[in-house]
Amino acid sequence: MREAAKLAGMNELTVIDEPTARAACDEWRKEFEITMTGVRRDELEYIELHGEPKGGQVSHELLLWNYAIPYANGDMWFAPNPLIRWRPRFMAEHCMTPEGTPTPSRCSTKQSS
């Protein structure tokens, strides 16, 4: 929201219109992409598969900087921020065709523990 408000102000807009909101999302997406590390990616993959972080410093950073988002509809669960364009290695290895097309019949993103 802050990024959208900043862009709206820079463009002297009184409201945040759709192009401004999309531009703000693109800015956040770029920020996530350039700051993604292997350790963060591994933790996001864990969160994607298990619905919760492992705990520790990396988990704290992902939640603090909005890489992962908590949801509280029923039980508390977590998911990677939808603005992050990535696909877990598990999905890439097991759920995609060689062309990169998802094949839901081949797998589920949630694995049983």
Q: Could you report the per-residue pLDDT of 77-91, keeping only the tens digit for each? A: 898 888 886 655 545
Q: Is the pLDDT of residue 5 over 60?
A: yes
pLDDT at 59: 93
**40 is written with which tokens?**
């963060």
76 near 63, Cβ under 8 Å? no
pLDDT at 95: 52
**pLDDT (tens digit per residue) in 9-57:** 777 777 888 887 888 888 888 888 888 888 998 999 899 888 999 999 9
pLDDT at 23: 85
Q: What is the phi-psi region of residue 22: left when phi exceeds 0, alpha when psi lies from -120 to 50, beta otherwise?
A: alpha
Which comes out higher in pLDDT, residue 18 or 112?
A: 18
**64 is written with which tokens?**
């603090």
pLDDT at 36: 87
Band of pLDDT at residue 106, cut at 50, 70 and 90:
very low
CA atoms within 13 A on the CB side of 59: 12
Q: How far apart are CA 28 and CA 90, in angstroms?
A: 25
